[in-house]
Structure 1
Amino acid sequence: MNQQIENNFKYHAPKEGQPAKYEAIREKAKELAYLIDVKCPNSREKSLAMTKLEETVMWANAAIARNE
């Protein structure tokens, strides 16, 4: 059995303190999203920046869920 695969593909119920960490990450990312929205012209590049920012939040939250 591969422990990494098992960990990556199971449900991780939030532990004490984790929801506050998720919220802090989302709030900072939202600040950056608004800055990008205001400062960048509508374009494919802007859309990609927003998508990558969403991915960043997802992976940061996964790091917390999977490794704490």
Structure 2
Amino acid sequence: MSNPQIENNFTYHAPKSGQPEIYTEIREKAKELAILIDEHVPKSREQALALTNLEQAVFWANAGVARN
């Protein structure tokens, strides 16, 4: 028995028209925030976690565009 969500989540999704531009926009905005965090938050575990979670947010946002 196949689970459609598992099939979708573990399948390569070639970019459709307009999607690469969305991915770029998301990454650019996240990069702006990453630079702000890097400049204003002291080097610390908290800063590292903030940047890691920002990377995860970009990943999941782009996955949402690709998968849906």
* CA RMSD in angstroms, aligned pairs only: 0.3
Corresponding position of 2:15? 14
How far the C-alpha of 1:61 sits from its partner, in A, is 0.1
Give unmatched runs, 5+ long, in structure 2. Answer: none
Corresponding position of 1:37? 38
Match of 1:12, SS? Answer: coil
Alignment identity in percent? 67
| Residues paired across the two proteins, number | 67
TM-score normalised by length of structure 1: 0.98
TM-score normalised by length of structure 2: 0.98
Give unmatched runs, 5+ long, in structure 1. Answer: none
**Runs of 4+ residues over 4 Å off in structure 1:** none
Instruction: Map Cα deviations across residues 10-54 of structure 1 (whole Å, 9 max, x no partner).
Output: 000000000000000000000000000000000000000000000
In structure 1, what is the Cα distance between the partners aligned to 2:57 and 2:37? 15
